[in-house]
Amino acid sequence: MKKLTSLFLVNIITLISIRLFAQDHVEAPKMPINPDSQKIMYREVVQEKGDPGYLYNKAMEWFNYYYINSASLFKIQDKINGKIEATGRMKIYYDDKDGNRMSAGLIVYTIRLEFKDDRYRYTVTDFNLKKASRYPLERWLNKEDPAFNPQWNNYLYQIDTTMQRLDSSLKEKMKPVIEKPDEW
């Protein structure tokens, strides 16, 4: 029984150590950088059937689906010129030494959607850690910075994962709804 208990404790300690070690040594994802501005930028032109007004309405539906309080995010809502611009927010986290998930701050970013016949373009950029002054996340990409913290890789991973989820969610919600005839 003592061997079983000690084996169990060793396994628990090993798992906790691996989790803490792994968190500090996450490889930073390859962040998409705009070559002109040198800022992190997610951008894609997506081919989707519909005129700009229809695509605009689909995008507004997506905003209401994806963001909790979407009405407070908008900077520009221009259906006539086919443009939406909003400020998105996401929380980032770290695990403390006891394995508790703790808030590491709030990331704000700009999301812009533009619409033309049978296509739309989304751009997500201007990522900043919300502080008293702007703190651009591009600083986290510099491994030579004397203030470099390995935890920054974990934060970048969280941001990249969230942006990939945003991408797939947007594409899914922008697809036209296929209505099935009510045959009875």
Domain extents in the chain: 2-174
Per-residue pLDDT for 124 more than 50? Answer: yes
Give the pLDDT confidence score for residue 89 in this predicted structure.
95
- What's the predicted TM-score (pTM) here? 0.79
Domain 2-174 carries which CATH code?
3.30.530.80
Phi, psi torsion values for 33, nearest 5 degrees = -110, 130
Between 56 and 145, residue with greater pLDDT: 56
Report percent pLDDT > 90 for the chain. Answer: 66
Given a contact cutoff of 8 angstroms between Cβ atoms, the answer to whether 153 and 145 are in contact is no
Confidence of residue 5 (pLDDT cuts 50, 70, 90): very low
**Position 136 pLDDT exceeds 60:** yes
Condensed to tens digits (0 to 9), the pLDDT of residues 142-168 reads 888 888 899 999 999 999 999 999 999
